[in-house]
Homo-oligomer: A and B are copies of this chain.
């Protein structure tokens, strides 16, 4: 039964976290996990080869963004939200909120009739 190394919260660094989240694919993984958690890797692959997906998960783990727990044959991922928030309060929330803003733009672009007024 193999498990993973996860840095402890005190060792998280701002630059490592920002770098981990500055990649569109990795950021999309984090956004999905923020909504539905925990989740195995497979549904987040988005058509990429497994080795590439595995690499991006490793980057996110190393930055402390997520935790991977081996549960039977699947590896369950969850955001390390409590630890992230205790170390850097509000950081993850602000980034996710920023993604939501960006996403709202995309919807507006696809369909100009929605989302001119927020609600």
Residue of B nearest to A13 (CB): B102
A89 lies within 8 A of B97 (CB): yes
Does A88 sit at the interface, judged by CB under 8 A? yes
Does A24 sit at the interface, judged by CB under 8 A? yes
Which of A91, A98, A102 lies at the interface centre, i.e. has the most chain B CB atoms within 10 A of its CB? A98
Report the interface size for chain A: residues with CB under 8 A from the other chain: 27
Chain A contacts to B: CB under 8 angstroms:
10, 13-19, 21-24, 27, 87-91, 93-95, 97-99, 101-102, 105
Give the top 8 A-B pairs by smallest Cβ distance, nearest first: A94-B94, A19-B22, A18-B22, A88-B98, A90-B94, A18-B18, A91-B94, A14-B98
Instruction: Tell me how far the C-beta of A60 lies from the nearest C-beta in chain B, rounded to whole angstroms.
Output: 13
Q: What is the CA–CA distance of A23 and B27 in the complex, to the nearest angstrom?
A: 17
